[in-house]
Structure 1
Amino acid sequence: MDIAIVGGGAAGFMAAITARRTNPSCKVTIFERAQKVLAKVEVTGGGRCNLTNSFAAISDLKQAYPRGYKLMKRLMMTFNHEDAYRWFEEHGVPLVTQDDDCVFPKAQDSHAVIDCLVQQAADLGVMVCCKSRLMDIRSMQDGRLELIFDNGTQRIFHRAIITTGGSPKGNNLQYLARLGHKIVPPIPSLFTFSIRDKAFCNLMGTVVDPVVMTIPGTKFRSKGALLVTHWGMSGPATLKLSSHAARMLAEQDYKSPIAISWTGERSRQEVEENILAMQIANPRKQLATLHPFGLPSRLWVYILSKLGLEAAKPWAEIGRKTFNRMIETLVNDQYTIMGKSAFREEFVTCGGVSLESINSKTLESKVCPNLFFAGEVLDIDAITGGFNLQAAWTTGFIAGSCVAE
């Protein structure tokens, strides 16, 4: 059996290795359009490769996978994060789990993961062809698949797995639409927010952890660290919110109100009681000298300025009206998103091949027999933290197992 893997990324390599292990008599070839394989794995996690997550903080997969969580729940019964952890350790990549539940190679270098995958594929006899861009697929009468590449070559395979990753340009998936697959328009799903507030952006480098970010009037909400940048907001809380609200924000042209609770999940009453106690205990101290809840001093001075308060003003001179405004700003600070900025390190798209078009047990196409899918080309995407690569390992393993049977 001759099998083609189209896409030399994480899902493609896991699929190729698994296929060869499942059926050693099959021939497997990886086709990659770029000059080298696993380029995205190389840069993920700041070059350290956040390859999975402990899932310790995840009680429902919907928290990690805004799209595709039902399918991931089914597939992870066969190959989950613990299986991925064990797989890499058994193949010579010692791992370490950080306090934030992210899993990295102990070497803190993505090349530990890349070298492992490339070596495993080579040892199993998997062929790799770079600079091979797939242009079209034709289903033949005998069930085989004819793959047509941009250099004019045509190759025939018994089966194929598409693992081409996210496709920011939806027209790259037109050849799959022609075969009858439903395509969900791809859009970015991990990005930072542009905020046109010069005084706020002057706080660049400031980190507040944790905050709660919400989009007023919706159920979209995230908790985590917020990083102020020279263009606006970044950090895990921002990326998580951008992932869950990706479709809505795209529909609104990335312009939306956003509210921040600088005090995390503390209730308004708790914040009010804390500030009142601080005021009573320190009536003569200047506002700027006491920043509540451990807020960075620069941020606290900014909040005071936003309220029109002088930093040198004594706490005793804060009236009830001003006090209430202060509480409101701490728990419900309002800004306006005025665009998105690419978060290149973890660039992810939502959309792709609709899960309605595939068999949820095997990842085989419902409309084109012998064609399978794995990875981000499917309409599965996750928040930052190793969850997207876990989806690649899981779907790659399932597709690789099923294609070789």
Structure 2
Amino acid sequence: MNQNFDIIIVGGGAAGFFTAINIVEKNPKLKVAILERGAEVLNKVRISGGGRCNVMHACFEPNELVKFYPRGEKELRGPFHQFCSGDTIEWFEKHGVELKIEADGRMFPVSNSSQTIIDCFLKATQKLGIAVLTGQSVQSIFKKDTVWKVETQSENYIAEKLVLATGGNPKVWEMLQNFGHAVVSPVPSLFTFNIKDSRIKELPGVAAQVTVKVKDTKLTSTGPLLITHWGMSGPAILKLSAWGARILHDKNYQFTIFVNWLNDVDKEDTEKTLKELKQEHAKKSVSKKSPFELTNRLWESLVLASGIEVETKWADLSKIQLQNLANQLTNGTFQVNGKSTFKEEFVTAGGIDLKEINFKTMESKLHENLYFAGEIVNIDAITGGFNFQNAWTSGFIVANSI
């Protein structure tokens, strides 16, 4: 038996739900179904932002917002002029969810619980009569005359329009390749760096505002760095992992980074400062107290790494030791050996080639009535709510054009 709908949306995640709700709100006559392969919907929403759901980022200017997308910067400019962060806030408010801005610009529901977002979506789909069908793993997709036929392991569905919001699902990408779509092969995008190094071994939990560069590349990033049990994490590292997703994959995650623990202060200025400290604090021991905005533990570790004994006084520093210390502070060299997934928020760079999508409608340029929303396309962002904004914007545009 075939089940007939006007529109079928494959993928019960953020993009799929947002698309469905917006379609039926604009046109209540349409019969819409969401097919989800798992037993539960909205799983990524549930775990995002440590269970609080980082809905979006407080960046309201489309031309600024696009800069957070290593892949998709150029393509998203138009879509963000149609539906941007301010529209997202308004949309959720209209649906009974108030959002708040945190100091780092990330936005969460005031309730501090991702369940609020899930409940909002489930309530809307029920109210609008959208069929949410779980345990429906798509086995094949056909185009027959003017309709799409979707087969799952247990049912056949027929619809005039098909929206794919399946995120990084390789099986769906494969089906699309059979339809002539080019898929940019996926590589991990948000990950932390595995580093074994005596300088940071005893310092998990210590953070600093840094500039990090990857040797022999143009990759550079500034921001907070967090030392962890397995190496380095924090926004500065995650940004590098997103912008360098392809390059670092090609290096097989074996590469060298330079860390400037003083962020933007260069080696010469640091040497000058150290010489002044040598005069001012002649009788004090170097390793005891950090004269920079670094924790004492990190400072002490870098002092020892410069070949300076724990009890050495400032007055007794040799020229070489002073240079070594300036070098450790502004140009520390670390070997990265592998990566770790960042929390459960597994993001991939890769997906439908952006050249094959009309970004005014999010429709396939190769097949009429085939639309894409969310991370199924080759768009991804750094951490901070930007991947969700892409889901909301692309879902809104699909709904609008349908």
Q: 2:13 aligns with which of 4, 9, 13?
A: 9
Q: Does the CA contact (< 8 Å) of 1:15 and 1:401 recur in 2? A: no
Cα distance, 1:290 vs structure 2:
2.4
Q: Distance in 1 between matches of 2:57 and 2:157?
A: 38
Match of 1:127 in 2: 131
Q: Tell me the amino acid that sits aligned with residue 148 of structure 1.
A: E
1:54 aligned partner, one-letter code: A
Letter in 2 for 1:165: G
Hey, what's the Cα distance between the residues in 2 that align with 1:57 and 1:98? 18
Cα offset for 1:296? Answer: 1.1
Paired position in structure 2 for 1:155:
157
Q: What's the CA shift for 1:248?
A: 0.4
| 1:273 alignment partner in structure 2 | 272
Alignment partners' CA distance in 1, 2:136 and 2:62: 39
Could you tell me how far apart the structure 2 residues matched to 1:58 and 1:20 are? 27
Residue 178 of structure 2 corresponds to which residue in structure 1? Answer: 178
User: In the TM superposition, what is the alpha-carbon distance from 1:62 to its structure 2 partner?
Assistant: 5.0
The answer for the alignment partner of 1:301 in structure 2 is 300
Is structure 2 residue 195 aligned with structure 1 residue 191?
A: no
Question: Is 1:364 equivalent to 2:367 in the alignment?
Answer: no
Cα separation, partners in 2 of 1:46 and 1:310, compared to 1, 3 Å: same
Q: Cα deviations across residues 32-84 of structure 1 (Å, max 9, x unaligned)?
A: 11111110011111111111001279964453000011121110111001100
| 1:249 maps to amino acid | L
Q: Is the 8 A contact 2:193 2:338 kept in 1?
A: yes
Residue 166 in structure 1 maps to residue 168 in structure 2: yes
Q: Distance in 1 between matches of 2:273 and 2:49?
A: 37
CA contact (8 A) 1:275 1:292 kept: no
Q: TM-score, normalised by structure 1?
A: 0.95
Structure 1: 5+ residue stretches without partners: none
Do the aligned partners of residues 58 and 367 (structure 1) sit closer, same or farther apart at CA in structure 2, a change above 3 Å counting?
Answer: closer
1:345 offset after TM fit, Å?
Answer: 3.1
1:23 is matched with 27
Q: Is the 8 A contact 2:147 2:159 kept in 1?
A: yes
Match of 1:200, SS? coil
SS at match of 2:140: strand
RMSD: 1.6
Q: Which stretch shifts more, 268-277 or 52-61? A: 52-61
Q: Distance in 2 between matches of 1:195 and 1:295?
A: 20
**Worse-superposed segment, 84-93 or 183-192:** 84-93
TM-score (norm 2): 0.95
Identity within the alignment, %: 39
Alignment of 1:339-350 (within 5 A): 339-350=338-349
Shift in alpha-carbon separation, 1:35–1:211, aligned structure 2, 3 A = same
- Work out whether 1:234 is the aligned partner of 2:195: no
- Secondary structure, aligned partner of 2:167: coil
| Offset at residue 116 of structure 1 (A) | 0.8
Counterpart position of 2:147: 144
Aligned residue identity for 2:79: L
Deviation at 1:220, TM superposition (A): 1.1
Secondary structure of 1:217's aligned partner? coil
Question: Does the Cα contact within 8 Å between 1:45 and 1:345 map onto a contact in 2?
Answer: no
Corresponding residue to 1:65 among 66, 69, 78: 69
Q: What are the equivalent positions in structure 2 for 1:42-53 lying under 5 Å apart?
A: 42-53=46-57
CA distance in 1, matches of 2:176, 2:132: 23
**Partner Cα distance (2:271, 2:59) in 1:** 34
- When residues 361 and 58 of structure 1 are mapped into structure 2, their CA distance, relative to the original with a 3 A threshold, is closer
2:113 matches 1:100:
no
The one-letter code of the counterpart of 1:177 is Q
Matched residue SS, 2:82: coil
- The number of residue pairs the alignment matches comes to 398
Instruction: Indicate the residue corresponding to 2:351 in structure 1.
Output: 352
Q: Secondary structure at the match of 1:41?
A: helix
Q: Conserved in 1, the CA contact under 8 Å of 2:60 and 2:84?
A: no
CA contact (8 A) 2:71 2:349 kept: yes
